[in-house]
Amino acid sequence: MTAENCPPEAYQIEGALVLDPFTGREWSGPVVVEGGRVVEAPSGAVPVRRVEADGLWLVPRLVDIHVHFRSPGQEWKEDLESGSKAAAAGGMTAVATMPNTVPPVDDPALVTWQRSTGERLGYTQIWPIGAVTRGLAGETLADLWRMQEAGAVAFSDDGRPVWDSRLMRSALTYSQSLRVPIIQHAEDPRLFEGAAMHEGAVSLRLGIPAGPAEAESVMVWRDVQLAALTGGRLHIAHLSAPGSLEAVAWAKARGLRVTAEVTPHHLLLTDEAVAEWGYHAVTKVNPPLRPQAVRDALIEAVCQGVVEVIASDHAPHHADEKALPYAEAPFGIAGLETSLGVVLTVLVHTGRLKPIDAFRRMSAAPHAVLGLSYPGIVPGAAADLTLIDPYHEWTVEPERFYSKGKNTPLAGMRLKGRAVATMVRGIWVMREGAVSAACWDA
Amino acid sequence: MDDFLGIAELSTKTLEDLLDTAQALSEILSRPIKKVPTLRGRAIANAFFEPSTRTRNAFELAAKYLSADVVNFSSTGSSLEKGESVWDTVKTLEALGVDAVVVRHREAGVPQLMAERLAIPVINAGDGEHEHPTQALLDLLTVRQRFGRLQGLRVAIVGDVLHSRVARSDLYGFLALGARVTLVGPPGLVSEEWREWGAEVTWDLAQGIRGAHVVQVLRIQRERQAQGLLPSWQEYRERWGITREHLGWADPNVLVLHPGPQNRGVEIDSEVLEGAQSAVLDQVRNGVAVRMAVLYRLLGGAAE
C-alpha cells in the first residue's frame, strides 16, 4: 500500500529540466503538485514541500506497454505487487500487462481484478491487455468489448501469434469499433519451431537450434496486408527483423494504422551475447537477439520514427527455470528496471536522439498507440512524474531488482542514467531507488 | 586441461599431443591382457542423457583398460524421470566420489554448463549439434595412421552437416592440423557461413569429393524427411549417397569414414562400407584409444 494515508502535502519540484513529450515543451521551472494533480500554484490548504531536483530531468507519464506480471497463476515468477514495484523502480508510472497468464486474461473479471489490484497497490498503474482469442487458443474471438468496458487497453495473444489469417482479419475488423489496437506477437510458428536463438553465424558455431528473422517478418507482412484490407489498428510487438521494418514502413507510407515497438535489449545486445554468456539461458528471448547489422537497423528505425515505441517485454522467470539447458529454458528477459538506463545509454548519450524524443517513445507515442490521452505537464493533469538523473552511471545488479525475475543478460553491465524518483497520482512511490509505501519523513 | 569440451577450444599442440598419446596407448589394445594400472583407484561416470552404444561402450572399455572403475548412468529408469535436474544428477555423481564424468546430452552446451558446476573434469561425449570431440580425435587418428600425416590432405564431409556435431568437431580438427576441408550436402543441410571458417562448401557431390583423400560420411537422420528438408531416400542416395560409382570421383586411395550407426543404402552403400577403402572398424578401435588418451590426460594417471 502506498502512502495514501500520509498527511496531505503539496510538492514544489525545483531545479529540474522539464521534458514534456506530450506538449513538446522543454523548460526549467518549478512544477507544483497538489491533490494528485499538477497545479499552477499551491492552494495554501496543505503544507508545501520543496523538492530539490537540480541537474535532474522531469518527464511526465512514462509507460511501458509490454510487460508480463504473471498473475494470475505464475506468481513464483512475478506478481502484481513485485511487478508494480519493479515498474516504480524503473520510473514507469503505468504499464500494460500481457494476458498470457494462467488462466489467460480473456474475461472482464480478470481485467477488473488486475486493474483494481494495481490501483490498490498504487506503485504504478496497471493497464491490462486482454486476449484476442478465448483461452489464447487462436480459435474464437474473446469478448473484446466486454473486456474494454472493464478497463482493457488493447488486445493481444502475446507469447504466441494470432496465426490464423481469417481470425486475424476478424480481430482487426471487429476491434475498429473499439478504437484500440490488436498487438501482434508476429512469429510464423513453423519457421521458428524448435528454435532457441537467431539463425546465423553464432547459432552455427554454438549448435543451438535456431530460426531465421523471417519467422517474424513473414507474419508482419501478412498482418500489414490485413490492416490494409480491414482498416484496423495493428501494433507490432517487439519488432526485431529487417523485413518487419520494411513492412511497417510500407504500411505507414500507405497511411495505414500500423505502429510498432522495439525492446531495449534488441537495441543494446546482439546474438554474440549468447556466446559470451556460454549457453546460460539468460540470453534466451523471443524474438531472439539479432546480429549487429539488425541491431543497427533497429536503432535507425527508432531514430527515424518507423518504430515509435520502446517497450521492455519484461518477462520475469524463476532462476531454476532459466538454469535449464538452453533449448529447454523459457524465453524472456526481465527488463523493467533497466529499460530507461538502456534507452539513455544507447540512444541519448550517443547523441542519436534528443532526450525529449527518446522519452516520447516511452510516453506520448505509446499513449497514441493505445488511443489514450494525457495532456502533459499542465494544470489539472494527473501527477504521474519521473525524475531522472541522466548522468548517473551504475552497474546492473539483478539481485537488487524489485522484480522477482533476476533474468537479464545485462547483469554486470554499466549503464548511464536512471530514474531517481517516481510519482504516481501525486504520491512518491520511489525515491533514490527505494520503492516504499512510507510517508516522506518516515 | 581441466575439462574436455570441444575441439574448437584446443590448441594445435594439445590436439597433436592427444593423438600421440592415443597412438601410444593403442598398443595396449593388441595385447592379450588389455589392462594397465594407470588409473587404478579412479572412478569414472558415464552420464548419457541420450542413447548411445558405441561411444558409451568405448568410454567404458577405455576406462576399464586403464583399470578405472566405471559407473554407467542412463536417463531411462533414473532419478531424471522423477523430475531431477541434470545438474543435480551430475552433482550427485560427483558426491558419490567419481573422478570424472563423461556426458552425452541432446542439447548443445550442457557439458560446458556442467563443467562450471563441478570440480571434477567433464568430458563431452556429444552435445546437441555442437561438438563430439572424441569422435573427431578418432577420425583424425584413423586418417593419420593411414596417411602418416594430416597436413595437405583433402577431406570431404558429406551429408547433413548442419545438424551434425561430428561435422563441426571434424571441421575444427582437420583444419587445425592442416587438412583442406570441403563440406558437401543438400541445400538446407550445409551452410555457406562455413566458408568464413576456412572450409569449402558445395551441394555438388562430384565437385565436393573430387580428389578427396578422406570422405567422412555423415549419418542422415530419418526426421529430416518429416521436417520437409529432404525428398525421398532414393533421391538422396542418387545425389549424395556414397556409392561405389560416386566414390570413383575421389582419390584412388580414398579412405571412407562413417561415425555410425549407418543407414546402409541411404548415405552409404554396403559394398563401400565393407570395401577395402572403408576404415569404419579402425575408427571403432581407435575410439577406445582416443578415449583412453583423454582420460589419461585429464586424470593424469597420478593415482597412488
CATH number, domain containing residue B117: 3.40.50.1370
- Let me know: does A238 contact A266? Beta carbons within 8 Å: yes
> Distances in Å between the alpha carbon of B157 and those of B40, B133, B217?
39, 16, 6
- From residue A14, alpha-carbon distances to A273, A433, B22 in Å are 42, 19, 76
More reliable by pLDDT, A415 or A438: A415
- Contact: B113, A200; criterion CB under 8 Å: no
Please check whether residue B87 lies inside any domain of the structure: yes
Partner-chain residue, chosen from A200, A201, A206, that has the shortest CB–CB distance to B108: A206
Asked whether residue A47 carries a pLDDT value surpassing 90, the answer given is: yes
Task: Identify whether residues B51 and B120 lie together within a single domain.
Answer: yes
- A207·B87 Cβ contact <8 A: no
Residue A437's pLDDT band (cuts 50, 70, 90):
confident
Cα gap B270→B266, rounded to integer Å: 10
The answer to the question of residue B203 being in a domain is yes
Confidence of residue A3 (pLDDT cuts 50, 70, 90): low
Q: Which of B85, B109, B191 sits opposite A206 (nearest CB)?
A: B109
First to last CA, chain A: 15
* pLDDT of A442 above 70: no
In a domain, B170, yes or no: yes
User: Does residue B114 sit in the same domain as residue B183?
Assistant: no
- Does residue A319 carry a pLDDT above 50? yes
SS3 sequence of A324-364: CCCCCCCCCECCCCCHHHHHHHHHHCCCCCCHHHHHHCCCH
Residue B75 has pLDDT above 80, yes or no: no
- Note whether residue B74 is domain-resident: yes
CA A255, distance to chain mean position in Å, is: 25
Beta-sheet strand order (sheet of A37-39) = A37-39, A31-34, A10-14, A48-52
Residue B193 to residue A204, Cβ atoms within 8 A? yes
Q: Which residues of B touch A327 (CB under 8 A)?
A: 107-108, 128
The three state secondary structure string of B249-267 is: CCCCCCEEECCCCCCECCC
What SS3 class is residue B228?
coil
A323 touches chain B (CB under 8 A): yes
Residue A64 phi, psi dihedral angles, 5° rounding: -125, 110
B267 and B187 part of one domain: yes
Give the model's pLDDT for residue B304. 35
- Which of A298-307, B192-201, B219-228 has the lowest average pLDDT? B219-228
Per-residue pLDDT of B103-132, as tens digits, reads 999 999 999 999 999 999 999 999 999 999
Residue B194 lies in a domain: yes
Q: How far, rounded to the nearest angstrom, does the alpha carbon of residue A62 sit from its chain's CA centroid? A: 10
**Window from A80-84, A377-381, B220-224 with minimum mean pLDDT:** B220-224
Answer yes or no: is B304 within a domain.
no
| Chain A residues whose beta carbon lies within 8 Å of the beta carbon of residue B191 | 204
CB contact under 8 A, A201 and B127: no
Shortest CB distance from B87 goes to which of A208, A279, A323? A323
The per-residue DSSP string of A392-416 comes to EEEE--GGG-SSS----TTTT-EEE
Is position B276 within any domain?
Answer: yes
CB B108 to CB A207 under 8 A?
yes
Q: Does A327 touch chain B (CB under 8 A)?
A: yes
Mark whether B97 and B145 lie in a shared domain. no
A280 neighbourhood in chain B, CB within 8 Å: 113
Query: Tens digits of per-residue pLDDT, B23-49?
Result: 999 999 999 999 999 999 999 999 999
Q: Does A280 touch chain B (CB under 8 A)?
A: yes
Q: How far is A276 from chain B (nearest CA, A)?
A: 12
- Model pLDDT, residue B222: 84
Task: Report yes or no: B110 at the A interface, CB cutoff 8 Å.
Answer: yes
Q: Closest Cα partner for A337 from A98, A123, A85? A: A85
β-strands A37-39, A31-34 pairing: antiparallel
Judge whether A326 is closer than 8 Å to chain B, CB to CB.
yes
Interatomic CA distance for residues A177 and A116, integer angstroms: 25
Q: Which of B8, B107, B127 sits opposite A328 (nearest CB)?
A: B107
Cell of B162: 548442419
A296 in catalytic set: no
Regarding whether B238 and B143 lie in a shared domain, the answer is yes
Q: B152 and B217 share a domain?
A: yes
Cβ of A207 and B131 within 8 Å?
Answer: yes
A207 vs B168: CB contact, 8 Å cut-off? yes
Among B residues 69-88, those touching chain A with beta carbons less than 8 Å apart: 85-87
Q: What is the pLDDT of residue B302?
A: 46
Minimal CA separation from A357 to chain B, in Å: 39
Task: Judge if B150 and B165 occupy the same domain.
Answer: yes
| Confidence band, pLDDT 50/70/90 cuts, at residue A7 | confident
Give the pLDDT of residue B303: 38
Q: Tell me: do B266 and B168 sit in the same domain.
A: yes
- B113 & B236 share domain: no
Q: Is the pLDDT confidence value at B8 over 90?
A: yes
Q: Which helix (H) or strand (E) holds B90?
A: helix B86-95
Domain count, chain B: 2
List of domains in chain A: 3-58+379-435 (2.30.40.10), 62-370 (3.20.20.140)
Q: Which of B87, B129, B162 to mutate to test the interface with A (most CBs of A within 10 A)?
A: B129
Same domain, B78 and B98: yes
Residue B211 has a CB neighbour count (10 Å cut-off) of 13
* pLDDT tens digits along A126-138: 999 999 999 999 9
Domain that residue B225 falls in: 133-283
Q: Phi and psi at residue A197, in whole multiples of 5°?
A: -155, 180
- Give the per-residue pLDDT at B301: 56
Interface residue B127 vs chain A (CB under 8 A):
yes
Is B128 close to A327, i.e. CB distance below 8 A? Answer: yes
Q: Could you tell me if A204 and A229 are in contact, meaning their C-beta atoms sit under 8 angstroms apart?
A: no
Nearest Cβ partner of B112 from A278, A324, A328?
A278
B226 assigned to some structural domain:
yes
- B97 with B194, same domain: the answer is no
Same domain, B25 and B101: yes
Helix (H) or strand (E) holding B88: helix B86-95
